[in-house]
Structure 1
Amino acid sequence: MELDTPPEPPDPDGSRIFTNEDAPRASSQTSRKRPVDTEKSASVTFKKKTVTESSQSVPSIQTVFTHPSFAEGPESYDKDDKGPFIVHVSREISDPSAGTSIRALKFGQFMHKNKFTNIVSDGVKNVGRNKISVEFSSAQAANTFIISPILPLTKYQAKIPTYNITRMGLVRGVPVDWSMEEFVESLELPAGCGAVLKARRLNRKSSNEGTIEWLPTQSVVVTFRGQMLPSKIFSFYTSLPVEPYKYPTIQCLNCCRFGHIKAQCRSKPRCYRCAQPHTGESCDVIKEKATCIYCSGSHFASDKECPEFTRQQNIKLAMSQDSVSYMEASLRFPPVHKSYAEIARELFPTPIYFPLPSNPPHHPSNSPQPNSFNSPRRSYREKIIRPARTRAPLAKGYDKYAHRSFTNSPSSSLPNGCALGSSLPDSPPSQSKMLEVLSEFLLSIVAPCSEIPLPPNVAHNLSQLFNILNNGPNNLTTMEQ
């Protein structure tokens, strides 16, 4: 197919398609019906439409077009590019699985010793095991750093990340019999849009009687140079809408990680069925008894319903919309993690009831009864009911009833705090009664000592006292009394 004779589009209303030479003559007949074969109409050259189905057309062999500059990688920033001006640096290694690591602090010291300037504060960061990200304050400083002769001498490689100066869009409706080179050469780009660096046709998977085939589709992924994604492009005077391209979510079935396939995996195998260190093809665990390696759920790690798969989709969407790296986009979404309580709740969805002991402890009527393990208002001690503690037998010489009678408080009809054992009198005793009681008390003390002479002062006081008791207290003053 030649580029100067593009395929004619289908005509849905059944009318004819005119050539460019007969366009003025055809414009005068647009409101008429289809003309008959007359002498006048015979001079007009008509061209019947040819409807070409995409499934019946012969697919083009070329499905990828790559510009030579894109194959080598973007060499420098353009004057119209906007920041941040980032350059990725890695060390030259012979074995990709060697695991060479570059530390950001050591590389920052290297740049300081070699007097590289215009570096943004906190601009040197680790973005991988063997990759350092350096952010410059200007495009000229970044371009100067890339072509520095010091980097090859120290076995460093520097390049600009493609997501920072390119944009990817999805174009639909491209015929399958077009080669990608023909499609790119036919494009007319709007003002401000960079050149097309790559065009790749998407294929769909088809299974026919056990045979898997990849059939070409009419969707093409186009990579534009620059930091602007056009809303539409033009091909043969026809506009084609451009959609933002969303990166696919790819998972490896060997290590269960995302971002690569099994044929490119360099990690140790991890089973997507039981999360053990072996391949999933050699495991016979069914889906009902599976264990996810990410969320510990009862499903395969490759299940599309897994929260980690949804997180990876959100990361890819952020990478496409904001043009950022995977590490930067992954920091926006926290990793999937489930607590022990959530895992136990999934494994045991019904409440667990513990058997009650033979002698359950007494609970007051106003206190909640421990009946469920999942009760939210009870402590751990209330959730788990322990059996009654058995006590050692008592000694033979111990009488618990006698001990209880000694230690119990004695019963009394008196109010609390009263130390008297008898009832209180209704009225206080008279003064004469008190003197009589006092005299009897003194005589009981002196009588046993009748054979021993009393001291003179004691005998004098006693004689006065007995004299008062005999004569009565009426003749005494208040002070004497």
Structure 2
Amino acid sequence: MGGSKKRKKDPHDGESPVDTSSDTEDNMEKYQVFKVSGYSRKYPENSPKSEFIVFLAHKDEKQLFTDKDRLAISHSIRKHCINGILHLKPINKYKIGITFDLSNNANVFIQNKKFMDELGLKASIPAIDTEVTGVLNSVPIDLSNKRIFSLIGSSRNVIQVRRFMRRVRNEGGSVSYQPTQTVAVTFASTELPQYVYLDSWRHEVSVYVPPVKQCLHCLKFGHIAKYCKNAEVCSVCTQNHNFKNCTEDPKNAKCNNCGGNHIAISNTCPQKKLKIEENKIRSKATKFSDLFNENSFPQLTMRNIETQVQNLTKSEPRLR
């Protein structure tokens, strides 16, 4: 029987858009994430915060922190006479946090190459304390990320431009990525501008809601496979093997997180939907005091801030 063999349907197809660069050579260059060269995170000198955390991790990202590492860090801190430390705290198996009293002390520590090299560590400041990402819509797909950066005008410094790409499975099973008109722009600020200008066209800036982190190894939420130490779980049948080796019909799939009749990475999963809503709330939530603090987090557009202030003072809301 000379008929061609049909490709087995991949149960992971079509689950969600993929945010990555295109697989063609031209598009990889055109839609490659653009980052400002030489930029490094620093706490602003006028920050209203009372504590400033710096994360430490091994240069080998898979290496865990041991008791020996913690003792070595304490010893090296004394040796190098590092100032302003309030306390040290383990964040997880791969990360330690050092909290400083002043922004300048934290910024100086980040640049302490001798300390880092001696222990094989790298230091970073949380993006949440120094950066904010917004979303622009209706951006022409012919514009490269680098070109968008060169054309953009904003009241806040732009440090990264990234276009969202949609994953498409072609006939024959190959995968390609198509650009969308949605672009994420990261600012060196803790508050989004209300709008930016792109080649004189005004674009409203909306809050970026980060995707839900789901491990493709153990299928749990909150981390990615790169750092997972759990046993592998099949997204189709929940057994301990890779989904590619599963013989179960995807129609009989069982979700490892909610027990429902769908694969574990499906966007229809009630548990995943709940996580998505939590991300939305976390991105938009605010406190009364935040409405009057330009450097506060979470991020809100100026329009949202003004509207909430007017509501609190019983003013008539401004028309959108």
- Bin of the TM-score, shorter chain as denominator length: 0.5 to 0.7
1:66-102 per-position Cα deviation (integer Å, ceiling 9, x unaligned): 11124xx42x323244424221012333xx4344446
- Aligned counterpart for 1:304 among listed residues 267, 272, 294: 267
Q: 2: CA distance between counterparts of 1:298 and 1:306?
A: 9
Q: 1: CA distance between counterparts of 2:131 and 2:72?
A: 27
Per the TM alignment, residue 205 of structure 1 is displaced from its structure 2 partner at its CA by 2.9
Q: 2: CA distance between counterparts of 1:212 and 1:227?
A: 37
Higher strand share: 2
Taking a change above 3 Å as real, the CA distance of residues 264 and 100 of structure 1, as seen in their structure-2 partners, is closer
Taking a change above 3 Å as real, the CA distance of residues 262 and 213 of structure 1, as seen in their structure-2 partners, is farther
Is residue 91 of structure 1 aligned with residue 58 of structure 2?
A: yes
Taking a change above 3 Å as real, the CA distance of residues 298 and 101 of structure 1, as seen in their structure-2 partners, is farther
1:282-301 per-position Cα deviation (integer Å, ceiling 9, x unaligned): 22334676543334455432
- Aligned counterpart for 1:140 among listed residues 104, 119, 133: 104
Is residue 269 of structure 1 aligned with residue 232 of structure 2?
A: yes
Q: 2: CA distance between counterparts of 1:253 and 1:214?
A: 20
Q: Which has the higher contact order (CA 8 A, sep 6+)?
A: 2
Q: 2: CA distance between counterparts of 1:262 and 1:152?
A: 27
**Superposed counterparts of 1:81-230, under 5 Å:** 81-83=47-49, 84-93=51-60, 96-101=61-66, 106=71, 109-110=74-75, 113-114=78-79, 115-120=81-86, 123-148=87-112, 149-190=114-155, 193=156, 195-210=157-172, 212-230=175-193
**Superposed counterparts of 1:77-476, under 5 Å:** 77-83=43-49, 84-93=51-60, 96-101=61-66, 106=71, 109-110=74-75, 113-114=78-79, 115-120=81-86, 123-148=87-112, 149-190=114-155, 193=156, 195-210=157-172, 212-258=175-221, 268-286=231-249, 290-297=253-260, 299-317=262-280, 320-321=283-284
Q: Secondary structure at the match of 1:273?
A: coil
Taking a change above 3 Å as real, the CA distance of residues 290 and 215 of structure 1, as seen in their structure-2 partners, is closer
Per the TM alignment, residue 221 of structure 1 is displaced from its structure 2 partner at its CA by 0.8
Taking a change above 3 Å as real, the CA distance of residues 60 and 309 of structure 1, as seen in their structure-2 partners, is closer
Contact 2:250 2:262 in 1 (8 A): yes
Per the TM alignment, residue 203 of structure 1 is displaced from its structure 2 partner at its CA by 1.5
Contact 2:161 2:183 in 1 (8 A): yes
Taking a change above 3 Å as real, the CA distance of residues 262 and 91 of structure 1, as seen in their structure-2 partners, is closer
Taking a change above 3 Å as real, the CA distance of residues 307 and 62 of structure 1, as seen in their structure-2 partners, is same
Contact 1:168 1:223 in 2 (8 A): yes
Taking a change above 3 Å as real, the CA distance of residues 107 and 234 of structure 1, as seen in their structure-2 partners, is farther
Per the TM alignment, residue 232 of structure 1 is displaced from its structure 2 partner at its CA by 0.4
Q: Name the aligned partner's letter for residue 197 of structure 1.
A: I
Contact 1:81 1:226 in 2 (8 A): no
Per the TM alignment, residue 168 of structure 1 is displaced from its structure 2 partner at its CA by 0.5
- Aligned length in residues: 257
User: Is there any run of 5+ residues in structure 1 with no aligned partner, and where?
Assistant: 1-57, 325-481
1:168-218 per-position Cα deviation (integer Å, ceiling 9, x unaligned): 11111221122222221222212xx2x111101111233454554321122
Q: 1: CA distance between counterparts of 2:69 and 2:270?
A: 32
- Aligned counterpart for 1:66 among listed residues 35, 40, 52: 35
Q: 1: CA distance between counterparts of 2:119 and 2:175?
A: 48
CA RMSD of aligned residues (A): 3.5
Query: TM-score w.r.t. structure 2 length?
Result: 0.66
Contact 2:43 2:129 in 1 (8 A): no
Q: Percent identity?
A: 25
Contact 1:272 1:301 in 2 (8 A): yes
Q: Name the aligned partner's letter for residue 92 of structure 2.
A: G
Contact 2:73 2:119 in 1 (8 A): no
Per the TM alignment, residue 267 of structure 1 is displaced from its structure 2 partner at its CA by 5.9
Taking a change above 3 Å as real, the CA distance of residues 141 and 259 of structure 1, as seen in their structure-2 partners, is same
* Structure with bigger gyration radius: 1
Taking a change above 3 Å as real, the CA distance of residues 150 and 208 of structure 1, as seen in their structure-2 partners, is closer
Contact 1:102 1:130 in 2 (8 A): no
Query: TM-score w.r.t. structure 1 length?
Result: 0.46
Per the TM alignment, residue 237 of structure 1 is displaced from its structure 2 partner at its CA by 2.7
